[in-house]
Each structure stands twice: as structure tokens, then as C-alpha cells.
């Protein structure tokens, strides 16, 4: 057979290294070989019981200098209130306890050690613990043997290095025996509870009333060691910081001669955000310098750009960073792409991390990557990298912030990879993550030399041409955040971003359609379209975005079809918000769809009429929130068979057509933990099958004016821990009461605005050993607390507000030995009747609050 020239070339090309098929074939063999060698290494690792660990080669281990116990009190500014609070804790803690542990928690440089020194050296504390005071700097090395020797040395007990640990621990126990002591364990990093327990066992031989003060940056350390609530140290007020700055930057009274420098100093102090070590770091280099330019340079430079000595603020904070495991270092550094004072949202940040594949795959197949991300955030919170945590109860979304100095640390760590883009910024060629704070030609020009960008966040309005240029230039984009933008159309070229994982268009009130090319984004995991009020419909091919895990949508469409969203089998979280025309969701959806959906939120959909037919197939659904849907009853065309739901949380709010709970909820009898019903004006009653909910822990019913009774069998809800009922004017709580066989174990009962309530229900007695918080408010016919109130042996808080006919307190109030807080407000009859008796009835309660009239009444008696 003859082969002509053209064919020969084809054959030669096919077998040559230039042929991509051959190249892939060869590479596949190489990769296979590498994998086999890695498997062999892994097998050897297991054989020799070695652990895999990622190391950050760029980090060097820096240790903090060892601390001592002395500080001149005159050199400390603004910590007297904190000192008094810690001293109060030392003196007031349970004297019956052998050793109490008070943790002081805060970020590096905040002054935890200084505060501990102030307390340690106070004359009153010295007198109180005159038998024995000890100070040990623990640092990263929580070696029990070393710490035993350090404690002995601090107590001036000779340590013979030729002896062993058994003799040393005997010496320690002998030292502490029959003494009331104070021990400061400064700068503790250890979060291994077993190590702490090993040391703690040796510290329990002193007199009752002994105390240990622990300073730490890590709240998990405080949880492990503390017997008292941690004292979370706050930043210094700005005026105190300014006083410290003046003391460090000027010679005595010199500031009066240089008012301009003083004003610049005030602006420098603002950068420090209440952290004394930051003040010291910036003020120290300015001492005795009067050149304004030097002061301005420090004022205008980012802290992370300034040269710092070993004891400076960023080296101090970097100690915390060095202690992080590698995966948390990556996640923390990524946060530098957000601006200072940014309100982080856990769902958003986790999806960002997920987009960049920096979340470690869980070993447990039942654990989702989102759960891993949540653990990362909680760990960074516990280590003081995040702060200002805020979360509404039961809502899976929470917010938090990053201290400005921690943000500076993140910028230092991520320098070159993450940048905030302004007109004056200078971008490194290797930058990967960009956040745009300004627009204009100066911004656009900076992008020309970049090619590795993976994250783009527009924090200000940008031209469509810039977006098109970014899509064309940055083919490896993984995150594109266009929230609150006003693009009329999205370029069809967006479909070329094959690596894109996160796309946010929320808050765009102009865009009407998404390009069909968006459906080519097969790796897209998060698509955020809420508050896109003019979006006419979702693309028909949205089912092709097969990796989608989070979808949030606002649309003018009337129906979200099963053939579209219902086919998104990777979807974990679906939020349908503000869809004014929406009448149906997943119409006709069959079993086997949305098999991974965990959270469903349907809100502000006034035309929505039905949900129940499809919802029963969502077998993995854990959280369901339905609110502000005025045409939705939840019970139309109900079918009971084949119910397989496993809800944990159901929140229903502002459904005026809801009269009873849907039957399909019974399918969650073994899993439902929290049930919340609010502002459903026609909701009449809880179902008789409510006691079948064997896992129910929380029941809240608020602003349901037709709600009239609790079902029989409430006593069978043995897992119920909390009941809150508010503004249900037809409910009395005591109708058809049954006393027998009570099994409730409530911890909290809050009752407000129940005009039919006259006395507390008998079934509350079943919680005599568990109820900790009882609150009754605005119950105009509530007459008396029952005599059996004194049986509530665990009650810690009792609050009664605006019950105008309440006329007596029970005789046995003094038997409520666990009571710590008692409040009475606007109960005039009780005030008059009890003014002679109140002192001896509740004198044992530490915190008593009465309104002014009541206080005046007592004072005149």
C-alpha cells in the first residue's frame, strides 16, 4: 500500500511529540508513575506511623521574649477600670472552689500581660494572696515538666536539675499545700486539654479561694482552662491612646511647642485602633524628632510598609500567624483582598475560599465543604483573627469583622498576591486577587501588565469596557463579584471563563437578561442574583451549570421550572427572594431531584400559591425559611404518603393564609429541633401530632392573634428546652391542663402580651430541676406567682415587666438558692404590698433591679 506525502505527514505528526493526543498519552503515563510513587510513599508513611503535614517554608519561627511580673503602674494608661474588674473577680469568685481560673483574652499587643502585671502587683492583691504569688511566662512551649520547674523558681524554691519529674511535682504540691495562692500563666497558646489537665491536677492542693490568671490570644484556650467566663479585653479609648502617644513621642511638655505635630499625632493614633503596642511602635521612632515630613510619612504609610523592630506590633501579631496550620494561613491571607472595616459574611467568604480550592476535603463523607469552611472561620475567630461576631438566632448566616491591625498583617502576608486597586496603587505583576475601590483610566492602565488574576471584586461602579477587558485578559478568573453594579447586559464572552466558580450580580436593578453563554460555566459553584428586580427569567440552559452549589435569585418570572433548577443536583443552598410574579416552584418535580439541597429560603414572593407538592421530595433539606408570602398556605392539595423530609429548622413568618401546620412536617418527627412561627395572623393551633416531634428543642410563637391553645401531650416533648410565646391574645396556657406524668425539662420560658394569662401553667413544675430563665411581660391579667415557684431549684433569672395586677410574691422566694438576677418593672400593686417584705425574701440575690417608683417606695419605708 502506498502512502502519499500528505498522509505520511499526518502519520508522522500523529506519532510525534507535537501531537496533543500523543502528548496527553505520554503525560498520562508520567502522572500515573508519579501517583504510584506517591502511593508507595504514603504506604511507608503509614508503616512508620508518620503524619502528613504542610509547612509554610517562608515562615520563620519567632518567639516572644519571656515576660516578668513587674510594671511601674504610673507608666500604664487607661487600664484602671479593667484592673478593678479583674480584682473584683479575684475577690468574689466562689471561695468554696479550690482553684478558680480567670482567662484574659485579646489580640496581640492589646495589653493583656500589662493588665495581669497591674493586678499582680496591686497592694490589695498582694495582701489577699500574701502566702504565695507566682508568675510564669508559658509561651508556645506548654511542657508540663518545664512549667513545674518555672513555678517552683518563681516561688523561690531551689530546683535541683539532677532530680526527676516525680521529685519536682512533689515539691510543687508541697509548696501549694494549705496555701491560698495566685498564679499568673502568661501568654498561653496550648489548646490541648490533656496537657492542661495534667498540670491542673498538680495545682489543686492549695486552700480554697486560690486563683490562676491566664492571658491568651485564643478563646479556645480560655474555654479549656477557664472556670470563670473569659475577660475579653477591649482596645484603649482614643484619648488614652493619645496620652500614651504623647508620653512616648515627646519629651515632657514638649508637645505644647509643636501643635502641628500634635495634630498629626492624633491622626497616627487613629491608625492604631486602640492597641497600645501599635501606639508604641509608631510613636517610638518619632521621639525627639521635630521634622514634620517624618511624622507625615508615618501618618500616610500603611503600618505594614513601615520598618519595625522585633518588639513592634506586626512582629507581635505575626506570632499568632505563625501558629496557624498551613490551610488557615492561606484562608487568612486571602482576606486581605477585602477593604478595612469590611463586614464579612460567612456564606460569602466560604464560597470565595471554595472557589480557590483552599478548603481541605473532609475525611467524613457526610461533612460538606461548607461545613469545613465554617470550622475555619470559627477557628480564626477563636484565635482573635476575626472579631465583632454577630448572628441572629437560628439564622445560618452570620457576620464578623477584622481588626485594622490584623488586616495590616494580612496585607503583609499576602503582599504581591492580593491588592486593593485605586488610582494611586502600584500592582505587582504576580498579583492574583484584586478589589477595585476606584475607577477611571488610571485604574484600567494598571491592568495591562497583569495575567494571573483569579479574583476581581468591583466595590465601585465600573465601565462595561473594563469588565469586557477583564474577561478577555484574565482567563483564569475564579471569582467575579459585580454586586450592586448597573451593567445593562453581561458580555456573552463571560462563557469563556471556564475556571469561574463565583459570580455575584446581586443588587443590579437594571439587568433584564443573562446571556445564554453563562450556562457554559460548568465549574460555577455560586451564582448570586438576588435583588435583580428587573431580571425577566433565568437562562433556559441553567441546568447545564452542573457544579452549582449556591443559587440566590430574584426574577420577574412566574414559575421556576423543575426542568431548570430542579436538575441542579449539586445545589446545597437555594434562596428565592423578592419574586413578585412567582406562582410556583419546581412544578411537577419528582423524587430524585435536588438530592443535596440543605437550605431553602423563600421570601417576599406575594403571588406564590403552592410549595407543598414539591417540598416532600427534598430529602436532605435541613433548614426551611418561608416568609412574607401572602398567598401561600402551605397546606393546599396535601399528600401524606412517602414523606421523607429530615428538617432541623422550620421558620415561618408573615403567612396570613396559614391556619395550621402542613402534614408533611410529620416526616421530620425525628429530626426537627427548632420550630418558629411569627406574624401569622390566622394561625389557630398547633397540631395534635406536635408531641410526635421527638427532637424538638425550641418552640417560638409570636404575633399569632388567633392562636388559642397548646395541644394535649405537650408533656411528652422531653427534649424541649425553650418556649417563647408573645402577643397571642387568645392563648391562656392553662386550658385543659393535665398534671400527671409530666416529663418536660425546659430551661427557658418567656411569655409576653398574653392578656388571658392569670397564673403560670401547672406543667411548668415538671421543669423544677432544669428551668433557668423565666420571663413574664405585659400580661395585664397576671395576678400572682405560684407558691410552687420555690420548687424551681435551678432558676437563675426571674424577670417580671408591666403586670399591673400582680399583687404578691410567694413565701418561699428565699428557697430559690440558684437565683442570680431578679427584675421587677412597672408592677405597682406588687410594689406597695411587698415593700416591707421584699428585703428578706430576695436579699440573697446578687443582682436586683426595680423601677424608680419601686426603689423610692422601698427607700421611704
Q: What is the pLDDT of residues 679-715, one digit of tens each?
A: 999 999 998 889 889 999 999 999 999 998 888 888 7
β-strands 573-577, 550-553 pairing:
parallel
* Alpha-carbon distance values, 243 to 85, 725, 835 (Å): 22, 51, 49
Q: Give the per-residue pLDDT at 48.
A: 46
Average of per-residue pLDDT across 224-231? 92
Using the predicted structure, report yes or no on whether residue 499 has a pLDDT greater than 50.
yes
Q: Give the per-residue pLDDT at 80.
A: 92
Using the predicted structure, report yes or no on whether residue 117 has a pLDDT greater than 50.
yes
Using the predicted structure, report yes or no on whether residue 77 has a pLDDT greater than 60.
yes
β-strands 674-678, 748-752 pairing:
unpaired
Using the predicted structure, report yes or no on whether residue 122 has a pLDDT greater than 60.
yes
Please tell me the distance from the alpha carbon of residue 744 to that of residue 719, in angstroms, as a whole number. Answer: 8
**Phi, psi (degrees; rounded to nearest 5) at 774:** -130, 125
Contact criterion met (CB below 8 Å) for 151 and 158: no
Element (H, E) at 113: helix 112-121
Cα angle 319, 325, 329 (rounded to 5 degrees) comes to: 70
Q: Is 639 helix (H, G, I), strand (E, B) or coil?
A: coil
For residue 182, name the pLDDT band (cuts at 50, 70, 90): very high
Please tell me the distance from the alpha carbon of residue 428 to that of residue 418, in angstroms, as a whole number. Answer: 9
Q: Give the per-residue pLDDT at 614.
A: 64
Q: In what order do the strands lie in the sheet with 387-391?
A: 344-345, 398-401, 387-391
* Alpha-carbon distance values, 350 to 339, 417, 507 (Å): 17, 19, 20
Range list of β-strands (E), 368-431: 387-391, 398-401, 418-421
Q: Give the per-residue pLDDT at 553.
A: 94
How do residues 426-485 score in pLDDT, each as one tens digit?
888 889 999 888 877 888 888 888 889 999 999 888 888 889 989 999 999 999 999 999
Q: Give the per-residue pLDDT at 423.
A: 82
Residues 6+ apart with CB under 8 A from 641: none
Q: Rounded to an integer, what is the distance from CA 206 to the centroid of its chain? A: 38
Using the predicted structure, report yes or no on whether residue 653 has a pLDDT greater than 60.
yes
Percentage of the residues of the chain whose pLDDT score is greater than 70: 85
Q: Give the per-residue pLDDT at 278.
A: 86
Q: Give the per-residue pLDDT at 331.
A: 95
Percentage of the residues of the chain whose pLDDT score is greater than 90: 48
Please tell me the distance from the alpha carbon of residue 726 to that of residue 703, in angstroms, as a whole number. Answer: 6
Q: Give the per-residue pLDDT at 30.
A: 58
Cell of 521: 460555566
Cell of 218: 485564643
Average of per-residue pLDDT across 12-25? 41
Using the predicted structure, report yes or no on whether residue 27 has a pLDDT greater than 50.
yes
Contact criterion met (CB below 8 Å) for 594 and 617: yes
Q: Which of 631-645, 683-697, 805-819 has the lowest mean pLDDT?
A: 631-645
Q: Which of 26-40, 98-112, 236-250, 652-666 has the lowest mean pLDDT?
A: 26-40
Contact criterion met (CB below 8 Å) for 777 and 802: yes
Q: What DSSP line would sit under 571-622, residue for residue? A: --EEEEE--TT--EEEET--TTSSTT--EEEEES-TT--B-HHHHTT-TT--
Range list of β-strands (E), 29-167: 99-105, 132-139
Please tell me the distance from the alpha carbon of residue 713 to that of residue 741, in angstroms, as a whole number. Answer: 10
Using the predicted structure, report yes or no on whether residue 595 has a pLDDT greater than 90.
no
Please give the DSSP secondary-structure letter assigned to residue 784: B
pTM recorded for the entire structure:
0.79
Using the predicted structure, report yes or no on whether residue 173 has a pLDDT greater than 70.
yes
Q: Give the per-residue pLDDT at 860.
A: 38
Using the predicted structure, report yes or no on whether residue 514 has a pLDDT greater than 80.
yes
β-strands 398-401, 387-391 pairing:
antiparallel
Please tell me the distance from the alpha carbon of residue 511 to that of residue 531, in angstroms, as a whole number. Answer: 11
Contact criterion met (CB below 8 Å) for 714 and 734: no
Contact criterion met (CB below 8 Å) for 574 and 600: yes
Cell of 235: 482596645
For residue 19, name the pLDDT band (cuts at 50, 70, 90): very low
**46-54 long-range contacts, Cβ below 8 Å, gap at least 24?**
53/326, 54/325, 54/326, 54/327
Q: Give the per-residue pLDDT at 853.
A: 55
Q: Is 826 helix (H, G, I), strand (E, B) or coil?
A: coil
Please tell me the distance from the alpha carbon of residue 761 to that of residue 764, in angstroms, as a whole number. Answer: 6
**What are the start-end ranges of the H helices in 215-308?**
219-225, 238-249, 259-272, 276-283, 292-300
How do residues 396-423 score in pLDDT, each as one tens digit?
889 999 988 889 899 889 888 888 888 8
- Where do we find the cell 437563675? 796
Q: Which of 86-95, 313-322, 705-714 has the lowest mean pLDDT?
A: 86-95
Q: Give the per-residue pLDDT at 6.
A: 44
Please give the DSSP secondary-structure letter assigned to residue 552: E
How do residues 124-134 score in pLDDT, each as one tens digit?
999 999 999 99
Q: Give the per-residue pLDDT at 2.
A: 41
Please tell me the distance from the alpha carbon of residue 568 to that of residue 542, in angstroms, as a whole number. Answer: 8
Choose among 212, 219, 227, 215: nearest CA to 186.
215
Please tell me the distance from the alpha carbon of residue 214 to that of residue 56, in angstroms, as a whole number. Answer: 29
Q: In what order do the strands lie in the sheet with 132-139?
A: 132-139, 181-188, 210-216, 99-105, 231-232
Q: Which of 228-232, 266-270, 303-307, 752-756 has the lowest mean pLDDT?
A: 303-307
Q: What is the mean pLDDT of the chain?
A: 84
Q: Which residues of 718-735 are buried (b: 16+ CB within 10 A; e: fewer)?
A: eebbbbbbbbbeebbbee
Average of per-residue pLDDT across 800-811? 87
Using the predicted structure, report yes or no on whether residue 851 has a pLDDT greater than 70.
yes
Choose among 295, 290, 235, 291: nearest CA to 265.
295
Contact criterion met (CB below 8 Å) for 456 and 479: yes
Using the predicted structure, report yes or no on whether residue 277 has a pLDDT greater than 80.
yes
Better pLDDT: 21 or 295: 295
How do residues 620-635 score in pLDDT, each as one tens digit?
999 999 999 999 888 7
- Where do we find the cell 489577699? 128
Using the predicted structure, report yes or no on whether residue 167 has a pLDDT greater than 70.
yes
Please tell me the distance from the alpha carbon of residue 370 to that of residue 3, in angstroms, as a whole number. Answer: 59
Choose among 579, 487, 481, 581: nearest CA to 533.
579
Amino acid at each position: 500500500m502506498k502512502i502519499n506525502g500528505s498522509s505520511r505527514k499526518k502519520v508522522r505528526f500523529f506519532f510525534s511529540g507535537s501531537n496533543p493526543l500523543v502528548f496527553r498519552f505520554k503525560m498520562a503515563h508520567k502522572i500515573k508513575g508519579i501517583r504510584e510513587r506517591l502511593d508507595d510513599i504514603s504506604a511507608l508513611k503509614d508503616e512508620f506511623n508518620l503524619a502528613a503535614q504542610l509547612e509554610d517554608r517562608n515562615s520563620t519561627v519567632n518567639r516572644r521574649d519571656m515576660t516578668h511580673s513587674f510594671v511601674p503602674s504610673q507608666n500604664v494608661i487607661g487600664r484602671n477600670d479593667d484592673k478593678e474588674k479583674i480584682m473584683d473577680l479575684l475577690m468574689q469568685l466562689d471561695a468554696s472552689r479550690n482553684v478558680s481560673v480567670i482567662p484574659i483574652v485579646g489580640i496581640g499587643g492589646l495589653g493583656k500581660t500589662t493588665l495581669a502585671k497591674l493586678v499582680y502587683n496591686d497592694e490589695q492583691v498582694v495582701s489577699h494572696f500574701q502566702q504565695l504569688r507566682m508568675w510564669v511566662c508559658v509561651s508556645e512551649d506548654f511542657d508540663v515538666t518545664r512549667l513545674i520547674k518555672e513555678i517552683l523558681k518563681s516561688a523561690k524554691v531551689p530546683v535541683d536539675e539532677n532530680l526527676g519529674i516525680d521529685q519536682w511535682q512533689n515539691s510543687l504540691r508541697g509548696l501549694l499545700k494549705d496555701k491560698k495562692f495566685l498564679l499568673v500563666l502568661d501568654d498561653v497558646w496550648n489548646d490541648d486539654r490533656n496537657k492542661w489537665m495534667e498540670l491542673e491536677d498538680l495545682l489543686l492542693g492549695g486552700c480554697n479561694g486560690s486563683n490562676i490568671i491566664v492571658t491568651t490570644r485564643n478563646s479556645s484556650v480560655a474555654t479549656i482552662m477557664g472556670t470563670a467566663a473569659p475577660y475579653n479585653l477591649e482596645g484603649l479609648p482614643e484619648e488614652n491612646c493619645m496620652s500614651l502617644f504623647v508620653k512616648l513621642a515627646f519629651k515632657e511638655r514638649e508637645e505644647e511647642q509643636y501643635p502641628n505635630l500634635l495634630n498629626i499625632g492624633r491622626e497616627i493614633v487613629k491608625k492604631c485602633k486602640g492597641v497600645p503596642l501599635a501606639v508604641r511602635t509608631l510613636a517610638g521612632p518619632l521621639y525627639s524628632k521635630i521634622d514634620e515630613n517624618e511624622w507625615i510619612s508615618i501618618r500616610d504609610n500603611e503600618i505594614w510598609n513601615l520598618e519595625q523592630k522585633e518588639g513592634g506590633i506586626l512582629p507581635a501579631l505575626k506570632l499568632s500567624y505563625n501558629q496557624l496550620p498551613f490551610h488557615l494561613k492561606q484562608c487568612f491571607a486571602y482576606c486581605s483582598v477585602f477593604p478595612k472595616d469590611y463586614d464579612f459574611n460567612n456564606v460569602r467568604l466560604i464560597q470565595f475560599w471554595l472557589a480557590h480550592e483552599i478548603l481541605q476535603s473532609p475525611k467524613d463523607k457526610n461533612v460538606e465543604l461548607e461545613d469545613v469552611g465554617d470550622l475555619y472561620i470559627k477557628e480564626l475567630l477563636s484565635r482573635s483573627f476575626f472579631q465583632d461576631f454577630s448572628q441572629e438566632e437560628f439564622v445560618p448566616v452570620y457576620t464578623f469583622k477584622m481588626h485594622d491591625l490584623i488586616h495590616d498583617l494580612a496585607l503583609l502576608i499576602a503582599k504581591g498576591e492580593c491588592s486593593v486597586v485605586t488610582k494611586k496603587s502600584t500592582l505587582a505583576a504576580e498579583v492574583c486577587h484584586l478589589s477595585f475601590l476606584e475607577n477611571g483610566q488610571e485604574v484600567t492602565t494598571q491592568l495591562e501588565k497583569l495575567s494571573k488574576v483569579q479574583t476581581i471584586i468591583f466595590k465601585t461602579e465600573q465601565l462595561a469596557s473594563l469588565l469586557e477587558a477583564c474577561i478577555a485578559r484574565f482567563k483564569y478568573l475564579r471569582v467575579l463579584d459585580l454586586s450592586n453594579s448597573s451593567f445593562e447586559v453581561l458580555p456573552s464572552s463571560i462563557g469563556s471563563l471556564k475556571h469561574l466558580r463565583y459570580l455575584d450580580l446581586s443588587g443590579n436593578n437594571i439587568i433584564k437578561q443573562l446571556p445564554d453563554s453563562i450556562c457554559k460555566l460548568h465549574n460555577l459553584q455560586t451564582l448570586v442574583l438576588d435583588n435583580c428586580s428587573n431580571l425577566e427569567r433565568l437562562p433556559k440552559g441553567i441546568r447545564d451549570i452542573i457544579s452549582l452549589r449556591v443559587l440566590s435569585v430574584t426574577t420577574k418570572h412566574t414559575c421556576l421550572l423543575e426542568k431548570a433548577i430542579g436538575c441542579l443536583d449539586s445545589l446545597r443552598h437555594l434562596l428565592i427572594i423578592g419574586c413578585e410574579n412567582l406562582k410556583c416552584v419546581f412544578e411537577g418535580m419528582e423524587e430524585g431531584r435536588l438530592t443535596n439541597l440543605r437550605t431553602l429560603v423563600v421570601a417576599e414572593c406575594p403571588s406564590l400559591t403552592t410549595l407543598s407538592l414539591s417540598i416532600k421530595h427534598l430529602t436532605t433539606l435541613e433548614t426551611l425559611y418561608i416568609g412574607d408570602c401572602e398567598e401561600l398556605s402551605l397546606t393546599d392539595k396535601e399528600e401524606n404518603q412517602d414523606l421523607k423530609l429530615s428538617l432541623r429548622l422550620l421558620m415561618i413568618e408573615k403567612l396570613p393564609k396559614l391556619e395550621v401546620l402542613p402534614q408533611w412536617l410529620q416526616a421530620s418527627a425525628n429530626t426537627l429541633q427548632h420550630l418558629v412561627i411569627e406574624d401569622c395572623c390566622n394561625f389557630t393551633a398547633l397540631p395534635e401530632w406536635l408531641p410526635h416531634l421527638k427532637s424538638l428543642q425550641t418552640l417560638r410563637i409570636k404575633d399569632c392573634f388567633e392562636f388559642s391553645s397548646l395541644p394535649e401531650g405537650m408533656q411528652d416533648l422531653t427534649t424541649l428546652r425553650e418556649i417563647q410565646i408573645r402577643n397571642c391574645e387568645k392563648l391562656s396556657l392553662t386550658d385543659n391542663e393535665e398534671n400527671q406524668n409530666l416529663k418536660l425539662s425546659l430551661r427557658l420560658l418567656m411569655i409576653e402580651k398574653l392578656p388571658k394569662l392569670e397564673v403560670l401553667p401547672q406543667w411548668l413544675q415538671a421543669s423544677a430541676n432544669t428551668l433557668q430563665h423565666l420571663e413574664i411581660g405585659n400580661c395585664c391579667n397576671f395576678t400572682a406567682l405560684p407558691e410552687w415557684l420555690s420548687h424551681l431549684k435551678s432558676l437563675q433569672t426571674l424577670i417580671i415587666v408591666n403586670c399591673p395586677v400582680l399583687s404578691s410574691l410567694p413565701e418561699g422566694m428565699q428557697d430559690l438558692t440558684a437565683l442570680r438576677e431578679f427584675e421587677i418593672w412597672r408592677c405597682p400593686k406588687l410594689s406597695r404590698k411587698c415593700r416591707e417584705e421584699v428585703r428578706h425574701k430576695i436579699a440573697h440575690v446578687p443582682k436586683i433591679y426595680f423601677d424608680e417608683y419601686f426603689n423610692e417606695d422601698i427607700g421611704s419605708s
